[in-house]
Amino acid sequence: MTTTHSDALNRVIAVSCFVFQAILNSPTFATKSQDYDKVSEWIGNGLLISRGQKWFSHRKVITPGFHFKILENFVPVFNRQAEAFCAKMERLTERSTAGAAINIFPELKLLTLGIICETAMGVGMDGGGKVDDTQQAYYTQIVEELSSILYWRMFNVFVNIDALFRLTRTSKRFDELVKKSWNFTLNMIDKRRKIHQQEEEEKKLHATVERDEEETFGKRKRALLDTLLEARIDGKPLTDEEIREEVDTFTFAGHDTTASAMTFILYNVAKHPAVQERIYQEIVDEIGADFGELTLSSLNNLHYMELAIKESLRLFPPVPVIARIATGNTQLLSEPITRGTSVAIDIFTMHHNEDYFPHAERFDPERFESTRDKQSFNPYTYIPFSAGSRNCIGQKFAQYELKTTLVKLLQRFQIRLADANFVPTLKAEIVLKPAEGLPLKFIRREI
């Protein structure tokens, strides 16, 4: 089996799980490749892109923001947002002509953006205002266009060079879009900062209020942005730029990747009605057919749903390729790698490898049932959230968000493809997407 192959741009493309494992656990490959430098012009050097001590200290600061207790406080938001989304699907279905389909992908981007704004950024929490649908749609369009420009730059040898890119009209458009994106996130930061300052003043007036564990994990709803505003690194608060970079990172990554994952999950359950019905029956058995509040505990009981989500993430990993750079001369399975070489980790190809996933193109949730042969199963054959020290910090957040949304949708609807023979054309920019969207029909369940 091929382990790596090189291209003309001093890049190595890794397609072996053993190479994946070596890269993702090696300090020599702890740095994201120069391919991400173009992205940093937009979202800055937040957790996704930062290197060295900055990455380490920021990761340490941000990790408590995804503590189990905090995730538990986010589930009511997942519930409420998913309920509103279902109501919206019902309205769109009722207003449409008989049998008309809904392109679900742009709708899911609005849903996941609303969730990340409320939970991670605190907009909508504790009286923190909200981001309306018009603003959300505007931001998702900005992200779509920025992603397309960045993808074009990464794989076009001429505009990959900054000096040449700056000669194009697209360069001016890119700068305009970046400013608009920053304005969106700066608005959220400003709203949350004002609330945070009010709370700090109230604390001074009520000094006897118990803090520590209750304040961090108790009744008060905390957002990731609160963690950033309160953080101290070497005794110093984060700068305004550092806070904006992390907010830009989480706003982009926290909605676009999850919308991609949810879109392909709905594609798979719509394409496979038997799987959809089995998931629905599990929901009825474990939770019930009514529309009550979900909890982490009830979501954890949905075992078959989890298998179906894992299988969908195998077939359609939200980030199909990631890349690292060698910061020193080294070897990968005895193959010499020189300092400065960019190594692309081709997650999509690995997830479709017949050696590890027989009938790899088949949607088969049960292939993950106890991984059948655990001793020979290499965990680096399946890495939809990356792996190693730089794995996705929000993966549990995303998994509970996906589960909640799927529960709420299937409690209300049977979901069908508008065209039973539809196969999505894949567009792999920064995030894997269906190029023409995903037309679905939502049929109200008779309960």
The CA distance from 441 to 90, in Å, is 11
> Cα 135 to the chain's mean position, in Å?
20
Backbone phi and psi for residue 394, each to the nearest 5 degrees, phi listed first: -100, 20
240-271 and 395-412 helices, crossing angle to 10°: 40
Long-range CB pairs of 12-15 (<8 Å, 24+ gap) are 12/332, 12/337, 12/341, 12/342, 12/343, 12/344, 13/343, 13/344, 13/346, 14/332, 14/343, 14/344, 14/345, 14/346, 15/346, 15/349, 15/350, 15/353
Q: In the beta sheet, which residues pair with residue 14?
A: 4, 345
Q: Are 323 and 32 in contact, with CB atoms under 8 Å apart?
A: yes
What residues have CB less than 8 Å from 345, skipping those under 6 apart? Answer: 14, 20, 23, 24, 321, 322, 323, 324
Place of tokens 């023979």: 421
Query: Tokens for 395?
Result: 């993966």
3-state secondary structure of 442: strand
Residue 103 DSSP class: E
Q: In the beta sheet, which residues pair with residue 413?
A: 444
Q: Are 445 and 411 in contact, with CB atoms under 8 Å apart?
A: yes
Nearest to 143 by CA among 133, 132, 155, 151: 151
3-state secondary structure of 439: strand
Query: Tokens for 113?
Result: 């953006």
Query: Tokens for 151?
Result: 């993808």
Place of tokens 């400003």: 190
Place of tokens 């945070």: 196
3-state secondary structure of 164: helix
Q: In the beta sheet, which residues pair with residue 323?
A: 344
Q: What amino acid occupies position 46?
A: G
The CA distance from 425 to 429, in Å, is 13
Rounded (to 5) percent helix, strand, coil in the chain: 60, 10, 30
**Would the annotation count 392 as a binding residue?**
yes
Binding-site members are: 392
Binding-site members for heme are: 392
